[in-house]
Structure 1
Amino acid sequence: MLQTTNTILMIRPVNFRMNEQTAVNNYYQKVLGSVLPETVNTKAQQEFDAYVEKLRGIGVNVVVVSDTEESDTPDSIFPNNWISFHENGTVSLYPMFAENRRLERREDILDVLEQQGFVIKDIVDYTSAEEANVFLEGTGSVILDRENRKAYCALSARADEDLFVEFCEDFEYTPVIFTAYQTVQGKRKAIYHTNVMMCLGETFAVICLDSIDDKKERKNVMAHLKESGKEIIAITEAQVNHFAGNMLQVRGGDNRLYLVMSQAAYNALTTDQIARLEKHNKIVTSSLDTIEACGGGSARCMMAEVFLPKS
C-alpha cells in the first residue's frame, strides 16, 4: 500500500465565497467585508490556477474538473470532504454537515476519472447518515495511514465516532480516536476537521499535540505514530491557525516526494521545523490567502487523492 499518490483531483471554483452554513463550526473562516463577492471568486480562481500550475510543474497528474453554475456550492474547491479513492478500486462517498455542501457530490466526476483510465469497481456510500444528522467528512475528518492501516480521527460535529468505526471496519483500518480543540473567544471548541491539525507523510507526522487536551488520548496518538515509525514534528496552535497542519505529501515526477502547503503555512513554520520536514521531502508552497480566509481550508483540503488502479 502506498501512502502517497501522483494523481490528484481538484475542483475549480465557479462561485467561491465564505459559506455561511459551514461558518457555524469552522472558526478559521473570516468575513472579508471590504471585498466584493466577484473579487473573492476571481482571486480564488487565480490562486487555484497558480496552485495547479505549481503541482503540474513538479510532475503531479492534476485532474481539474470545473464546478457548475447550476448549484450553490461555495465550498466545491474542497472535494476531499465528500469523496475518497482507494487502491482496491473502491470510491467512498461521505455525509456532509452543511446542506449546500451535499450538492458538491457529482457522478460525472467519476466518469471523468474513468475516461482517464482509472478503474472504479465499487462505491461505498455513507451519505444516508445525513438523514440522522450524522457526518464524517472524508479525508478532512479521517487521516489515513495507508501503509500501516491506521486511521486517525478527531471527533467533532463533522466526525461521528460510530460512523468512523464503521468506515474503519469496511476499509480494514485500525481506528485511532481523539478530540482536538482550539481556543475560540476564551473557550475550548472542537476543531472541525482532523486535517487542519494533522498531516501524515510516509516517514513523519506533523501534528498539533497541544490541541489534544486529554493526556491519555494524546499519549495514545503518539504511541501509534511511533509504532508506525513516524518522526513526530509538533506544531503549535498558533501555527494551526495559519494552516500549518493542512499539508499533503504527494508523489511528483521521477517518483520524488513533495510536501505541499500554502505560503501562509510555510511562513508560520520555524527554521527547525522546515529543516526537519526537508529531510523527508522537498517543500512546495502556493499562496492561498483568499481561499484560506473565506473557505477556512487550505492546500490539503483542495486535493482529493486518487489511488484507484488503472486499466
Structure 2
Amino acid sequence: MGQLQIPWEEELAQLRAPSPQLARAVVMVRPVDFAFNEETGADNVFQHRLGLAPQEVTRRALAEFDAMVERLCSHNLDVLVMDKRHDEHVTPDAVFPNNWFSTGHDGSVYVYPMHTPNRRRERRVEQLSRLLLDNGFRIDQLSWAGHPLEEELILEGTGVMIFDHPRRRVYAARSHRCHPTALYRYARLRGLDDVVLFDTADSHGVPIYHTNVMMSVGERVAVICGESLHRDDERASVLAKLAEHHEVIDISFEQVEQHFCGNILQLAARDGTPLMVMSEQAWNGFTPEQQRTLERHGQPVVNPIPTIEAVGGGSCRCMLAEVFLPRQ
C-alpha cells in the first residue's frame, strides 16, 4: 500500500515544486494620474522633470502605456489592465505595480511594505484580487510580507528582489527600499534556498534604489551591471552564481543610467514563445553583440515609453507585475 499523504504534505510538496521562470501573464496599471513623484524623487536619481504641464505629462504617459499594452497583446501575452477611479488618492507611481505585490505558482499573493506614503496607497488589494479571479486565476493565500504601515523594514517586491525561481534563489541590492531583515524574513517565509544580498553604488557613489534597474534574470540569460557591485568579493560571487545557469550580459553604468538596459523582463507568450520585453531606449542602449545575445533567448518586444522613463524613473520591467498563479 502507498503511504497516505496528508493535506499539509501536499501543500508543502506544491510549495517546493520547481517554479517556472517565465510568466505568461502580467498585471499593468493605467497611469491615469501619472506625474513626477515628489516623495520618491528624494532618492530616485532616475526621475527627471520635463518642464511640461502636468496634464501633458499624464496624456503622454497614457498614450505610451496603451501602445505598450497593445504591443504585448499582439505578441500573445495575457495582459490584465487594472484601472482606478479618479476620485481615489493620487498615486503618481501606480504605473509600477511590481513593487507592491507578487504572485506564486502555489496560488499565493504577497503584498509588500512600501518606502513612501503615497506609494502605500497604490495597494488596492481587493481590486487586484477581483481582477485576477475574474480572469480565471486561483488565489489560495493572500498575505502581507510585513506590516502595511511599516516605515523601516521596507521590501519593495520585485523592484528589489530578482528571482531565479527554479533554483529558489533571490538576488537583492541593499537600499532604503530593501531592508535585510525584511528580505530574510520573506525568504524564510517562502522557503527560499539562497539569498544573495549585495551592496551597489552608481557612477556617483549612490546606492542604486531598486535592484531591477541594474539586473534582470531570465530563463537562460541574465543582465547585470557588474561595476555597480563595488566590493570585489561580492561582484565575483554574484557573477559566478549567474554564470552557473545563464549567459551573462554585463552592462555599463551608462547603459543603466542613460538607457535602462537593466530594467528588462523575459516573459512567455501563451504558446511558450520567450519574449524579451524592454523599452526602445533600452534596446538602443545595448551593443549589437548584446542585442544578438538577447535575440537568441527571445523575441524582443520593444516599447517607446520616454515620458514614463524620464518622469517616473522606471522602465518596462517596473510596469509589469508577473502572474504565476494557477488557473482555476
The normalised TM-score by structure 1 is 0.96
Q: Is the 8 A contact 1:150 1:175 kept in 2?
A: yes
Q: How far is the alpha carbon of 1:131 from its aligned partner?
A: 3.2
Q: Is the 8 A contact 2:162 2:171 kept in 1?
A: yes
Partner of 2:178: 159
Correspondent of 2:198 among 158, 174, 178: 178
2:157 matched to 1:138?
A: yes
Distance 1:220 1:84, change over 3 A: same
Partner of 1:239: 255
Comparing 153-162 and 131-140, the one that deviates more: 131-140
Once the two structures are superposed, residues 27-63 of structure 1 have per-residue CA deviations (whole angstroms, 9 ceiling, x without a partner) of: 0000112x10000000000000000011000000000
Secondary structure in 1 aligned to 2:76? coil
2:323 matched to 1:303?
A: no
- Alpha-carbon distance in 1 for matches of 2:182, 2:231: 22
- Alpha-carbon distance in 2 for matches of 1:147, 1:24: 36
Amino acid corresponding to residue 180 of structure 1 in structure 2: T
2:48 matched to 1:3?
A: no
Once the two structures are superposed, residues 197-232 of structure 1 have per-residue CA deviations (whole angstroms, 9 ceiling, x without a partner) of: 0011100110000100001111111121123x1111
- Alpha-carbon distance in 1 for matches of 2:293, 2:326: 33
Correspondent of 1:199 among 213, 216, 228: 216
- Alpha-carbon distance in 1 for matches of 2:41, 2:151: 21
Q: Is the 8 A contact 1:129 1:135 kept in 2?
A: no
Once the two structures are superposed, residues 153-202 of structure 1 have per-residue CA deviations (whole angstroms, 9 ceiling, x without a partner) of: 00101000111111111112210010121123xxx010000000001110
Distance 1:129 1:156, change over 3 A: farther
- Alpha-carbon distance in 1 for matches of 2:127, 2:148: 23
Amino acid corresponding to residue 186 of structure 2 in structure 1: F
Amino acid corresponding to residue 230 of structure 1 in structure 2: H
Partner of 1:30: 48
Partner of 2:60: 43
Secondary structure in 1 aligned to 2:271? helix
Once the two structures are superposed, residues 108-164 of structure 1 have per-residue CA deviations (whole angstroms, 9 ceiling, x without a partner) of: 111111111211111220241743422110000000111111000001010001111
- Alpha-carbon distance in 1 for matches of 2:25, 2:270: 11
Q: How far is the alpha carbon of 1:279 from its aligned partner?
A: 1.2
The normalised TM-score by structure 2 is 0.91
Aligned residue-pair number: 306
Partner of 2:228: 211
Partner of 2:3: none
- Alpha-carbon distance in 1 for matches of 2:127, 2:249: 39
Amino acid corresponding to residue 271 of structure 1 in structure 2: P
- Alpha-carbon distance in 1 for matches of 2:227, 2:241: 17
Comparing 115-124 and 198-207, the one that deviates more: 115-124
Amino acid corresponding to residue 7 of structure 1 in structure 2: A
2:292 matched to 1:272?
A: no
Correspondent of 2:134 among 115, 119, 124: 115
2:109 matched to 1:91?
A: yes
Partner of 1:55: 72
Once the two structures are superposed, residues 264-299 of structure 1 have per-residue CA deviations (whole angstroms, 9 ceiling, x without a partner) of: 001111001001111111111010100000000000
Amino acid corresponding to residue 54 of structure 2 in structure 1: P
Q: How far is the alpha carbon of 1:254 from its aligned partner?
A: 2.4
Once the two structures are superposed, residues 79-108 of structure 1 have per-residue CA deviations (whole angstroms, 9 ceiling, x without a partner) of: 000000000011111010011000000121
Structure 1: which 5+ runs fail to align? Answer: none
- Alpha-carbon distance in 2 for matches of 1:180, 1:267: 25
- Alpha-carbon distance in 1 for matches of 2:46, 2:156: 17
Q: Is the 8 A contact 1:96 1:127 kept in 2?
A: no
- Alpha-carbon distance in 1 for matches of 2:243, 2:191: 20
For the aligned residue pairs, the C-alpha RMSD in angstroms reads 1.1
Comparing 299-308 and 250-259, the one that deviates more: 250-259
Structure 2: which 5+ runs fail to align? Answer: 1-18
- Alpha-carbon distance in 2 for matches of 1:220, 1:161: 18
Q: Is the 8 A contact 2:215 2:263 kept in 1?
A: yes
Q: Is the 8 A contact 2:37 2:93 kept in 1?
A: yes
Q: Is the 8 A contact 2:114 2:150 kept in 1?
A: no
